[in-house]
Chains A and B, each alone.
Chain A
């Protein structure tokens, strides 16, 4: 019963939220931003090149490490639950999984991401 009430509450609140948003938008008189309004603010100056540009994601080495270790842990918890039932089959599967993930760690090692700068 409580689940039904919770679902009804969620649906009802989302409906109210949507109605609120729509009525808030309706207050706006529908004018679209004109072309001069859409220009980037540079304090009165105008840009000469597009703002679209390629950045270097300098934290990518941290991301690589995070994915390698975090993914490992994420799958090891449920694996640990079924390990006793499944036995050596589960061990072999996890071994393969870890082998693939460790390629990422080895690559990072080669790139020198474990050296503190």
Chain B
């Protein structure tokens, strides 16, 4: 099958890639941001290649499969520094020596010409939950909403923390492959609009998840992706030019004052400053039983994301250990994740003492 003109046009654009990070994602993963032929996107819906970097823990493979199915056709999966899961057997593997950048380009070209067939869904093509009504056609049911459409309960009212108006609260698990969350982290968040009402940890971030990635995520959250990518260049944070750009951008003032204060008085601004000036030395924060709930509840989404990404990985794992875990295991596969999370948290709390 030859390429039609629109496929040829598409082949000239940078390859949109979504990165799902595993436990030991190689350092070069972040350098992909500097490759002009690639565009690292923030949502699987905009990607044509799913890049799995590092080993995905067994507890998170179900999440990876759900993520895989959300990519639009034509799509391909590439496992880098890891082996494909059983369900994704048609995925490609890239070993250490290969040139990943050109391999990604070739794969996308093969997808567009039709040499390589688009990957099929891993999950069965049926609604996640089926409609369970009482009527002969499955319609109807008890309550204001007429039962539970598609097996999922409707959101119900809950107290608002801002002004006491009772409005619907939305509870869902977020992560582990959400770009604004530290990789591997799953949080069960109850939201009212964009306000964090309740936070529970389903799975803490990977132990060695981020090598200086927090500062780049912070810069991206503050709308400065170019500065974030500049940090990927060797010793960029020491350059006078970079420091001047940070000052000129006004990013320090963009962070609200007194955001995410810990007991020893550090806030997001001071932690940002530290990460910018001394990225190799993690700060020794005195957390003293500080949990995610203390930091995030009552915060709006953007503030909460800034707070989450202002901690280095060790501190964040300690904070997760201080946070109550999600007790309700109503999904079959989540019990496994929760137990995995407990193990990880025990480990980190030992490390903390």
Contact = CB atoms under 8 A, between A and B. Distances in A.
B134 interface: no
B125 A52 contact: no
Contact of B128 (A27, A39, A52): A39
A36 B69 contact: yes
Contacts, number: 117
B154 A49 contact: yes
A42 interface: yes
B173 A35 contact: no
B126 A48 contact: no
Contacts of A46: 66, 128, 173, 331
Contacts of A31: 73
Contact of B72 (A37, A44, A48, A53): A37
A47 B138 CA distance: 22
B73 A41 contact: no
Interface stretch (B162-170, B262-270, B306-314): B162-170
Contacts of B121: 34, 36-37
Contacts of B153: 48-50
Nearest to B67: A44
B178 A51 contact: no
Nearest to B44: A41
Which has the most chain B C-beta neighbours within 10 Å: A29, A39, A43, A56?
A43
A54 interface: yes
A45 B69 contact: no
B181 A35 contact: no
B149 to A, nearest CB: 7
Interface residues of B, number: 50
B126 A42 contact: no
A58 to B, nearest CB: 9
Interface string A13-43: 0000000000010010101011111010111
Nearest to A24: B6
* Interface SS of B by simple majority: loop
A44 to B, nearest CB: 3
Interface in B1-38: 4, 6, 20
A42 B178 contact: yes
Given A27-B6, A54-B167, A35 B152 contact: no
B122 interface: yes
Contacts of A56: 160, 165, 167, 193
A49 B175 contact: no
A49 B122 CA distance: 23
A49 B123 CA distance: 20
A52 to B, nearest CB: 7
Contacts of B171: 48-49
Interface of A: 24, 27, 29, 31, 33-37, 39, 41-56
